[in-house]
A and B are shown apart, each in its own frame.
Chain A
Amino acid sequence: MTDTLHILSVGKGGWGGALLLAAGVTFALSVLGFLLGALFGAVAAGGRLSTRALPSWVAKGYGTVFRGVPDLLTIYLLYYGGSIALTEIGKFFGSAGFVGLPTFATGVLAIGIISGAYQAEVYRGAYLAVDLGQFEASKALGLSRFQSLRLVIVPQLMRHALPGLGNVWQLVLKDSALISVIGLVELMRQSQIGAGSMREPFVFYIAAATLYFLIATVTGSVFRYGEARAWRGMVHA
């Protein structure tokens, strides 16, 4: 027991500090990936809602592929595909050997692409949930299309989107553990390193699970608070 405490302590000889730092990397990776996914998701939702065939078709394909294919496969595609392309460019400029993509940026991109596919569905559903009268009213007020989106539709749309976004966020947080396979030292990878060097896998993976659970619980309540705030002054149906 004292052994375990010593291993996980923050001070000298303990892994606690490294694990907390790695949990920070996991959090940063997830937040940035989620935000990038919001951008991809918004664009894809716009495509899905478009009446023209091509954007709607492309957005639908994007959603089908990245929600249907294992996330691990997508991560391999981006990391190896990107690194291979980079190595080719490196060869052109006379560098020899394999050039790896920066792992943090690749992780953010991978999570962005995957979560964007899920967020698109959330935004699309939320957009369709906004009352048609709101669109007509903003038109009647003489607002431009962009103004009506920014001032009228999006604030109301977020109300319907928040529960779904909360689910996607939980998915993102857990997906971020997969980025460990490309060598980024986030919480999962740091626990593997610790487990290997101290020969105490059980302690380290329990510690990792606890930290993931804490992040998930705390951020989950942030989403619930946001939801309550978004609905303030409204009567729930």
Chain B
Amino acid sequence: MIDFAFFVEIIPTLLSGLPLTLRLAGLSIGIGFALALLLALAQQGNHRMLVWPIRSFVAVFRGTPLLVQIFLIYYGLGQFRPTLQAVGLWWLFREPYWCAVIALSLNTAAYGSEILRGAIQGVPRGLVEAASAFGMTRLQTLRLVVLPLALRQAIPSYSNEIILMVKGTSLASIVTLMEVTGIAQGLISQTYRAVEVFVAAGAIYLTINFTIISTLNALETWLTPYRVRA
């Protein structure tokens, strides 16, 4: 019933898309996290001129499908080729790879900034007051007290967001990038064996996600030595 020879045949083909999947995921999660942290911190000051544009950015990117965002950046901005060439950004928006990275990064930055904003606000006020009583500057307080606690607090929610991003990289196949899902689709239409290809490609994604979840769980446990887990 199950044809193992077929699996042996397709798995190397699917794995050849793995580097691209991992590059897309790694790059956009990294850029997205840096942006998310910046956006979350910028909102702490409560400057209306700063908070309002950020809230709008977050609302727009959370309220529209990722696919629309990718298309808007890749095809939509392609319409403004002369302008982009004039400002020297055309090389970026010409490549489906960079368009996918930009869309994925902005998307995860929007979701991530909300997670981090909540986590930063969750740091007990007394700790911040204690730090300032200690004579710490605002930057020192942030670096030594607020961020370590907030980032640890954010790990469970942020790991969900990372999983969503790994899954999100599959949309890059719609703008011609041959990562794992793109290759899987090609294999299905060549071999007409949807179930086998799904199982093999699905196993690759489950392995990536499982690795991420267990790493982050271990990280959280390591950072929370006093909290004995049930």
Tell me the A residues contacting B by CB distance below 8 Å: 64-65, 67-74, 76-77, 80-81, 84, 170, 173-178, 180-181, 188, 191-192, 195, 199-202, 205-206, 208-209, 212-213, 216-217
B184-204: which have CB < 8 Å to A?
184-185, 188-189, 192-195, 198, 201-202
**Distance (Å) between the CB of A198 and the closest chain B CB?**
11
- Tell whether, in the assembled complex, residue B66 and residue A174 are in contact, meaning their CB atoms are under 8 Å apart: yes
29 contacts between A and B (CB under 8 A): A68-B167, A68-B206, A68-B209, A69-B206, A72-B170, A72-B171, A73-B184, A73-B198, A73-B202, A74-B198, A76-B185, A76-B198, A77-B195, A84-B192, A176-B65, A178-B67, A180-B67, A188-B65, A195-B75, A200-B79, A202-B80, A205-B71, A205-B72, A205-B75, A205-B76, A206-B76, A208-B68, A212-B65, A217-B63
- Give the residue of A64, A67, A71, A212 whose beta carbon is less than 8 angstroms from that of B63: A212
Which chain A residues lie closer than 8 Å to B202 at the CB level? 65, 68-69, 73
Please determine whether B75 and A69 come into contact, CB atoms closer than 8 angstroms: no
Would you give the shortest CB distance from B59 to chain A, in whole angstroms? Answer: 8
* CA–CA, A64 and B68, complex, Å: 27
Given A72-B171, A201-B78, are A209 and B68 also a contact pair (CB < 8 Å)? yes
**Chain B residues with CB below 8 A from A177, complex form:** 65, 67-68
- CB neighbours (8 Å) of A200 from chain B are 79
Q: How far is the CB of A224 from chain B (nearest CB, A)?
A: 15
CB-CB contacts below 8 Å: B171-185 with A:
171, 173-174, 181, 184-185
How many residue pairs, one in A and one in B, have C-beta atoms under 8 Å apart? 120
In the complex, what distance in Å separates the CA atom of A217 from the CA atom of B63? 7
A80 near B209 with CB under 8 A, answer no
Q: Is the CB of A201 within 8 A of B76?
A: yes
Q: Which residues of chain A are near B38, meaning CB under 8 Å?
A: none
Counting CB contacts under 8 A, is B136 at the interface? no
Tell me the bound Cα distance from A195 to B64 in angstroms: 18
Residues of A within 8 A of B198 (CB): 69, 73-74, 76-77, 81
In the complex, the 10 A-B pairs of residues with the closest C-beta atoms, listed nearest first: A81-B194, A70-B170, A177-B65, A201-B75, A202-B76, A174-B65, A77-B198, A205-B72, A80-B194, A69-B202
Contact partner of B173 (CB less than 8 A), chosen from A72, A205, A212, is A72
Chain A positions within 8 Å of B79 at CB level: 199-202
Q: How far is the CA of A199 from the CA of B71 in the complex (A)?
A: 14
Kindly state the separation between the CA atoms of A189 and B192 in the bound complex, as whole angstroms: 25
B60 is an interface residue with CB less than 8 A from chain A: yes
Question: Does B205 sit within 8 A of A, measured CB to CB?
Answer: yes
Is the beta-carbon distance between A73 and B174 smaller than 8 angstroms?
no
Chain B neighbourhood of A64, CB < 8 A: 206
CA distance A210 to B82 in the complex (A): 26
Please name all residues of chain B whose beta carbon is closer than 8 Å to the beta carbon of A209 when the two chains form the complex. 60, 64, 68-69, 72
Looking across the interface, which residue of chain A has its beta carbon closest to that of B189? A80
Residues of A within 8 A of B77 (CB): 202
Q: A77-B195, A206-B72, A213-B64 are in contact. Are A69 and B167 (CB under 8 A)?
A: yes
Quote the shortest CB–CB distance from A30 to chain B (angstroms).
11
Nearest B-chain residue to A173, judged by Cβ: B65
- Contact (Cβ within 8 A) A76 B184: yes
Complex contacts, A188 vs chain B, CB 8 Å: 65, 67-68, 71
- B163 contacts A by Cβ under 8 Å: yes
Q: Please name all residues of chain B whose beta carbon is closer than 8 Å to the beta carbon of A195 when the two chains form the complex.
A: 71, 75
- In the bound complex, what is the Cα–Cα distance between A69 and B75 (angstroms)? 27
**Bound CA span A74–B69, Å:** 21
Contacts A201-B71, A202-B72, A208-B68 given; indicate if A77 touches B205 (C-beta within 8 A). Answer: no
With A68-B210, A74-B198 given, can you name 20 additional A-B contacts, CB distance below 8 Å?
A64-B206, A65-B206, A68-B167, A69-B198, A70-B170, A77-B198, A81-B198, A170-B62, A174-B66, A175-B65, A178-B67, A180-B67, A188-B65, A188-B67, A201-B72, A201-B79, A209-B64, A209-B69, A212-B63, A212-B68
Chain A residues in 8 Å Cβ range of B181: 70, 72-73, 76
Residues of A near B170 (CB, < 8 A) are 70-73
CA distance A115 to B191 in the complex (A): 29
Residues of B near A212 (CB, < 8 A) are 63-65, 68
